[in-house]
Amino acid sequence: MSEEINKELYKTAARWQEGEYEVTRTAVWTAPGCHCSCGVLLYTKNGKLEKIEGDPNSPVNRGRLCLRCINMVEQVYNPERLKWPLKRVGERGENKWERITWDEAYDLIESKYNDIKENHGVESIVTLVGTGRNAMWQPAVITRTIFGSPNVSFGFLSADSCYQPRMTANLIKAGDCLIADCSQTHPLREARPEWKKPEVILVWGNNPLVSNGDGFLGHWLVDMMRLGTKLIVVDPALTWLAARADAWLKIRPGTDAALALGILHVVINEKLYDEDFVENWTYGFEELVERVQEYTPEKVAEITWIPKDLIIKAARMYANANNGAIQWGLAIDMQMAAMEASCLITDLMAITGNIDVPGGMVLQRYAYNRGKKYGSGLENISEEMLLKRIGTYESPIHESGYTPFIPPDKLLETMESGLPYPVQMLWMQGTNPIANMAGEAPRVYAAMKKVPFNVVVDLFMTPTAVACADLVLPVAMSVERNSFRSWWTPLRALTKAADTYEDTKTDEQIVLDLGKRIRPDRFEQYNTDVDFLDDFLKDDDGVDYDFADLVEKVQDWWDWDYTYKKYEKGLLRQDGQPGFVTPTGKYEITSTLFDVWGFDSLGFHIEPNEGPHTTPELMKEYPLILTTGNRLWGCFHSEHRQMPTMREIHPQPMMDINPETAAALGINEGDWVWIENRRGKCKQIARFNVGLDPKVVRGEHGWWFPEKEGAEPTLFGVFDSNINNLTTMGVHGPTHYGAPYKSTICKVYKVTPENDKELPSKIVTKLGGFGYVKR
C-alpha cells in the first residue's frame, strides 16, 4: 500500500510522451461548464483525447476528480455535439437548419450588425451569458469592444441572484471578496506553517460537495473535517454535511437575513465578538448593536422555524472558535433579502475577527489581478453609450458599476415593451436561459421570440436555440482550447491538448475573427488567440511572462492572495495605507454607500413575497413552500443531459417531499407529480426525503430532454419538468438584488392520464401559456 505519488508516471512537467500517448498537464474549465478548474492529465493520441486523470501533483485537487471530468472523453466525442455553424431554414421552433461555413456565418452577423448600427443603434444588441464559465470576457469583448453595445446580462437570471449579492456585500463592506480558508491559497496547502485549520466552518445555503460553487472545491470541506473541523450547516434539507454537523439549522427558505440577525444578537449581547477588531477596524458597530436587539432568538426562531436553542448554540460555536470560516452559497442570493442577508453574514465574519486570518475568511482577488471577466471592454464604451444601458439607472448599485451587468428583469421588461428601445439582437454565449436560469421561463420564451435576430453560441442544439435562434455557432471544449483561469488562485493555464472537434471554434477564435472583421482598428495587433492571452496576462501591470510560459508553469500561485492580514499591511488600498478599500477605510458595518444610495445601511429581514406571512389566502390553494436548485452530481445546471453515463445516475427530474406530506396527498415514492402554482406547473418524480420539513418541497432545475423531439411543440420537453414555470421575474428586494427562486409556494398532486393530456411544453409553445396574468 503506497500513498506516495509515482514520480515516474506523474511528472511535474507540462507535457511528456508516455508510450503511445502525449500527456498534457493542465487544468480544464469550460466547456462543459463548472465553477472550478481542477488539475488534469490529458492523454492524447493523434490529436484525439483518449484518457483523462486527475493530476496528483496539482495542489488544487491532488488527483481527485469529479465524475463529469472523469467522463470527459464521452463529452468531447458525444455525437450530438454541434459540428459546424447552422443557419435556420424553417420557422423558429421547427428545428430546421442548414450547414453553412464560418465565413457565411460571419457575413450574416456582419450584415445584421451593419443594419442595426445604421437603423437602430448598436445598443439594441444585447449579450446574455451563463454562470461562472470560461465564457466571461469573450462575450463581453464581442459585445462592447466589437459591437460597441453596453448591454451585457446574465441569461434572465432574475435580480442577478448568483453570487452578485454576496460579492457586492463583500465589496461594499470589506472592499474585497471573502473566501473560506481551507489552505487552498498556497501550494503547500495544510503543510504551510502559517496556516491553521478552521475550528468551525459554517456551511450556509449550499451543498458544496455537489455544487462546487464560486471556485470552491467542495471536498476541501472533507479534508477539513478529517483534521477535526466542526460543522454548522444552514439548509432547509438534510445534506451529507448536515448529517455530520454539530448543529444543523433547518431553515425556512428565504429567511436567512433573520437568522443572521438572530446569530448576531447572541454574538453581540454575549460579547463573543472580537473587541480589538471591532474597535480598530470597523465603522458603525453601535448601529448594528441597536439593530439586532429586536431580533431576539425567540423572534428569529418564529421567523426561521429553527429552534431558539440551536440558534444560540450555533452563534456561540462559531463566535467562540479561534478561527471560523463561512462557506456560503447560492441560497443566500436567491431570496428577497439576498443583499441584506449577505451584508449581515459578512458582518458576522468581520466582528468575530475572522477577516483575513488563517482558517478564517481570506480577502481574495483574481490571481495577479488578471481578467476583467464580465466587465471586459467597458473601457471601449463612451459615457454617452453607457447612459443607454437598459434598466441600469433604476438601480443605484448597477449604476455605480458594482456589477458590469444590466439588470436582467429590466431587460425582460424592455423586450416586452420596446422601451426605451426595442432589442434587435440577442447574442447568447454559453447560456440556455429557458432551460435553466430564467425565472418565469415561459414569459422569457415569449419575449425572446420577439427579437428579430438571435445568435446562440453553444455545444449542443438547445431548447433556447431551437425556440429563437437564427444562427447557431459551435464552440470548442476546454481540452481543445488555449485559455487561462485567474478566478481566485492559482493562475492556471488551460492548454490545448486535442484538435478542435469537427468545424468548431474556440470562444477566443470567434472573438478574434469577429474583431478582425468588424473592428479591425481594435484588433490589428492580434494575429492568433494566443496573442490575446499574452495581452490579457500582461496588461495593466500583470505578469511579466507570456501564455507559453504559463503553459510551462501549469499554475502560478500569487503571493498577495496567500498573505494574511493584508489590511494591517497596507496591501489593499491604492494609497498603500492600512485599512480596507471602502470610503471610511474601515470595514463598514454601517454601509456609507448604502446611505448614499438611499438604502437602509444595515441588514434587516424581508418576508418572501409569497408565503405563510405575506400571502396566507394564496396558501390555502398552494399550501407548500417550494425551494429549487439543489445540485446534481452529474449535471452542471442544464448541461450534461446528453451524456449516457450521467443520465444513468440522473435519469429523470426528481422532487423531494417528506413522506408524511406525500402520504396525506396519496403520493407514493416514484410517482410523477405536478408541482403547480399560479404562474404555471411542471412534473417531476416524487422522492421521499425525511430530512425535509413536511411543509417544504424541493424541485430540481435545468431539466430538458435531448432525447426528445427538438421541434415545437415538444421543444426537447423543456417546459414539461421546468421548475421555472413557477418562479418569478421582476420580484426582488429593495436593492434590485435577489429573487425568490428558492422560496416560492406551490401545490403538489399526482399526475394522472386525465390531467396529463397536454404537456406543458405544448401549453407554452402552442396553446398560449398557462394563463397566468402578471400582476
Partner 1 sequence: MSKDNEKSRYGLLIDYEYCTNCHSCEVACKKELDLQVGQYGIKVVEEGPRQNPDGSWEWNYIPVPTSLCDLCSKRVEEGRKPTCVHHCQSNVMYYGTIEELAKKMEEKPKMVLFSK
- Tell me the window of 5-13, 80-88, 180-188, 593-601 that interacts with partner 1 (CB under 8 A): 5-13
Asked whether the beta carbons of 395 and 520 are under 8 A apart, the reply is no
Residue nearer to partner 1 on the CB measure, 153 or 207: 207
- If the CB atoms of residues 241 and 361 are measured against partner 1, the closer one turns out to be 241
Indicate the residue among 563 and 645 with the shorter CB distance to partner 1. Answer: 645
CB of 592 to partner 1, least distance (A): 43
- DSSP-assigned letters across all residues of 152-171: EEESSBGGGTTTHHHHHHHH
Shortest Å, Cβ 212 to partner 1: 10
The DSSP-derived string for 613-669 is TT-TTHHHHS-EEEEE----SS-STT--TT-HHHHHH--S-EEEE-HHHHHHTT--T
Comparison of 55 and 440: residue with beta carbon closer to partner 1: 55
**Radius of gyration (Cα) for the chain, nearest Å?**
25
Total residues interacting with partner 1, rule: CB under 8 A: 40
Q: Is 67 in the site for partner 1 (CB under 8 A)?
A: yes
Minimum distance from CB of 52 to partner 1 (Å)?
8
Residue 100 sits in the site that holds partner 1 (CB under 8 A): no
Q: What are the Cα distances from residue 505, in Å, to 104, 127, 143, 513? A: 14, 19, 18, 10
Residues 205-224 that bind partner 1 (CB under 8 A): 209-210, 219, 222-223
CB proximity list for 46: less than 8 A, separation 6 or greater: none
- The correct pick among 13, 419, 596, 649 for binding partner 1 (CB under 8 A) is 649
Nearer to partner 1, 40 or 441 (CB): 40
Q: At what angle do helices 308-320 and 297-304 cross, to 10 degrees?
A: 110
- The CA distance from 683 to 673, in Å, is 5
Does the footprint of partner 1 cover residue 541 (CB under 8 A)? no
Among 375, 422, 612, 691, binds partner 1 (CB under 8 A): 691
From 416-424, 568-576, 611-619, 641-649, span contacting partner 1 (CB under 8 A): 641-649
Give, as ranges, the residues between 47 and 66 that touch partner 1 (CB under 8 A): 51, 53-54, 56, 62-66
Q: Which of residues 408-447 bind partner 1 (CB under 8 A)?
A: none
The one among 276, 384, 541, 648 contacting partner 1 by CB under 8 A: 648
**Binding residues for partner 1 restricted to 236-265, rule: CB under 8 A:** 238, 240, 242-244, 248
In Å, how far are 338, 353, 569, 680, 723 from 364, measured between CA atoms? 21, 17, 15, 41, 34
Nearest to partner 1 of 63, 121 (CB atom)? 63
> Which residue of 193, 617, 690, 773 would you call a contact of partner 1, by CB under 8 A?
690
Among 320, 400, 645, 652, binds partner 1 (CB under 8 A): 645
48 vs 244 by CB, closer to partner 1: 244
Closer to partner 1 at the Cβ: 188 or 649?
649
Least CB distance to partner 1 at residue 462 (A): 23
Q: Is 71 or 352 the residue whose CB approaches partner 1 more closely?
A: 71
Strand 453-458 with 425-429, pairing: parallel
Contact 15, 23 (CB under 8 A): yes
**Comparing C-alpha atoms, which of 49, 56, 51 is closest to residue 5?**
56
DSSP 434: G
CA proximity to 704, closest of 359, 438, 408, 349: 438
Q: What is the largest CA-CA distance in the chain?
A: 72
Q: Which is nearer to partner 1, 6 or 574 (CB)?
A: 6
Closest approach of Cβ 61 to partner 1, in Å? Answer: 9
By the rule CB under 8 A, 226 interacts with partner 1: yes
Contact flag: residue 644 with partner 1 (CB under 8 A): yes
On whether the CB atoms of residues 315 and 307 are closer than 8 A, the answer is no
- Closest approach of partner 1 to the CB of residue 10, in Å: 9
CA torsion angle for 283, 287, 290, 294 (degrees, to 10)? -110
Q: What share of the chain is helix, strand, coil (3-state, %, to 5)?
A: 35, 15, 50
- Among 69-77, 420-428, 474-482, 560-568, the segment contacting partner 1 (CB under 8 A): 69-77
Cα 509 to the chain's mean position, in Å? 25
CB of 759 to partner 1, least distance (A): 26
- Least gap, CB of 625 to partner 1 (angstroms): 21
Omega prior to 623 cis, within 30 of 0: no
Smallest distance from partner 1 to CB 209, Å: 5
Residue 379 CB, shortest distance to partner 1, in Å, is 41
| Of residues 576 and 644, the one with the C-beta less far from partner 1 | 644
CB-wise, 319 or 643, nearer to partner 1? 643
Sign of CA dihedral 572, 575, 578, 579: negative
Establish if 310 lies at the interface with partner 1 (CB under 8 A). no
DSSP alpha helix (H) spans, 422-539: 441-449, 463-468, 507-518, 520-523, 529-538
Closest CB to partner 1 among residues 292, 643: 643
Nearer to partner 1, 187 or 691 (CB): 691
Question: Do 479 and 494 contact (CB within 8 A), yes or no?
Answer: no
- CA-CA distance, 622 to 695, in Å (whole number)? 11
Cβ proximity to partner 1: between 616 and 644 the closer is 644
Q: What angle do CA 751, 755, 757 make, to 5 degrees?
A: 110
Q: How far is the CB of 173 from partner 1 (least distance, A)?
A: 33
- Please state, in angstroms and rounded to a whole number, the distance separating the CA atoms of residues 407 and 178: 24
Buried b or exposed e, range 727-765, using 16+ CB within 10 angstroms: bbbbbbbbbbbbbbbbbbbbbbebbeeeeeeebbbbbbb
C-alpha cell at 140: 463581453
- Considering only residues 324, 439, 634, 740, which one is a binding residue for partner 1 as defined by CB under 8 A? 634
Considering the rule CB under 8 A, would residue 73 count as an interface residue with partner 1? Answer: yes
Query: Given the rule CB under 8 A, which residues bind partner 1?
Result: 1-3, 6, 8-9, 51, 53-54, 56, 62-67, 70-71, 73, 209-210, 219, 222-223, 225-226, 238, 240, 242-244, 248, 633-634, 644-645, 648-649, 690-691
